Amino acid sequence: MESWVTDLLGFVQANQQWVVPVLFVMAFGESLAVVGVLLPFTALIMACGGLIGAGALDLWPVLLSSIPGAILGDSVSYWLGRWLGLRLLHIPLFKRHRRMLARGRLFFRHYGMASIFLGRFIGPLRASVPLMAGTLRMPQPRFQLANVASAILWVPVLLAPGFLAAKGAVWARADPERWDLVASLLVLAVLVLVAWYLLRCWLKART
């Protein structure tokens, strides 16, 4: 799996004309019901942060492809849930993941609109909460508000650790006296990851 991720990342770096469609599909797949659990697209997007920090990839194409892809992925999951309703539990693809869907449904019932925003940052829930929101007939304007807001924040959060680490390494090589700044950036990146992990643990404990 790691080899597959490395190969695709190398392809993106070497063929930047494909950055927009590849990252759009990656973010879309990561946010799509069930599919997001099966494929490691999060690792690829995070790795792109390192390429951006090293100057090997431009920031704006990544943002302008990944954010719409994430929004569309959640939207398709929501519309699929509205269309199928509880019938989806009898479809073989979803039936195999009943436990994941049950967690998403419980999380949505517990947190309501906030679950759309928070669930974006938690792997299994990201692939099930929008689907359950549609199944339970959440009003579309409220869903899309949380969907868009969370996608705008989610992509930079994924990019930040790799970007800060790579940028810090570049600065340190250019000027060894900048190690204090580099260390501060690395500590910030670690704190972001720790806060993300603790939030996931807390939300898991509440459900």
DSSP 99-121: HHHHHHHHHHHHHTHHHHHHHTT
Cα separation, 78 vs 5, whole angstroms: 28
Give the domain range for residue 111.
Answer: 2-206
For residues 135 and 85, the answer to whether their CB atoms sit within 8 Å is yes
- Residue 3: pLDDT band with limits 50, 70, 90: low
- For residues 103 and 203, the model is more confident at 103
Cα separation, 196 vs 96, whole angstroms: 28
Burial group, residue 19, by CB count within 10 angstroms (0-12, 13-18, 19+): buried
Q: How many structural domains compose the chain?
A: 1
User: pLDDT tens across 103-162, in order?
Assistant: 888 888 888 888 888 888 877 778 788 988 998 889 999 999 999 988 988 888 888 877
Cα separation, 88 vs 79, whole angstroms: 12
User: pLDDT tens across 14-70, in order?
Assistant: 777 888 888 898 888 888 876 766 666 777 888 888 888 878 888 888 889 899 999
For residues 67 and 159, the answer to whether their CB atoms sit within 8 Å is no
Cα separation, 4 vs 32, whole angstroms: 20
User: pLDDT tens across 73-120, in order?
Assistant: 999 989 988 888 877 777 776 777 778 788 888 888 888 888 888 888
- Residue 188: pLDDT band with limits 50, 70, 90: low
Residue 168 in tokens: 């810090």
For residues 88 and 80, the answer to whether their CB atoms sit within 8 Å is yes
